[in-house]
């Protein structure tokens, strides 16, 4: 991530871990990538409950970013 201030930083629990999502402010019409950090460690697998918690938290961050930017935000999961 660049040295610029992020547009949004949010943390939420996923099971025993905490996920912190940092989103840079994208240039108009350009792509931006979420930076996702897991604490205390990154899991190798998620249970169904943890996967739901992660996707719910990610969706909340995406909605908030859309409101902040005043437009649509697309999340692609690969």
Measured CA to CA in angstroms, residue 19 lies from 9, 14, 16, 31, 48 at distances of 11, 7, 10, 22, 16
**Residue 52 maps to a domain:** yes
**Residue 75 maps to a domain:** no
**Residue 74 maps to a domain:** no
**pTM for the predicted model, two decimal places:** 0.84
**Residue 34 maps to a domain:** yes
**Residue 1 maps to a domain:** no
Tokens at 53, concatenated: 């918690």
**Residue 21 maps to a domain:** yes
Instruction: Give the pLDDT of residue 57.
Output: 97
Number of domains, the chain: 1
Instruction: Give the pLDDT of residue 3.
Output: 62
If you search the block for the tokens 């991530």, which residue do you land on? 1
Q: What average pLDDT does this structure show over 25-44?
A: 88
What percent of the chain lies above the pLDDT cut of 70? 95
**Residue 78 maps to a domain:** no
Q: Counting beta carbons within 10 angstroms of the beta carbon of residue 21, is it exposed (0 to 12), middle (13 to 18) or buried (19 or more)? A: buried
Q: Does residue 2 surpass a pLDDT of 60?
A: no
Parent domain of 35: 6-69
Q: In sequence order, what are the residues at sequence separation of 6 or more whose Cβ sits closer than 8 angstroms to the Cβ of residue 62?
A: 73, 75
């Amino acid at each position: 991530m660049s040295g610029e201030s992020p547009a949004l930083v949010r943390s939420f629990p996923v099971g025993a871990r905490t996920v912190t999502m940092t989103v840079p402010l994208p240039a108009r019409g350009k792509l931006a990538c979420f930076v996702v950090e897991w604490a205390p460690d990154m899991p190798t697998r998620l249970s169904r409950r943890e996967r739901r918690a992660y996707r719910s938290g990610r969706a909340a961050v995406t909605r908030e970013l859309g409101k902040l930017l005043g437009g649509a935000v697309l999340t692609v999961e690969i």
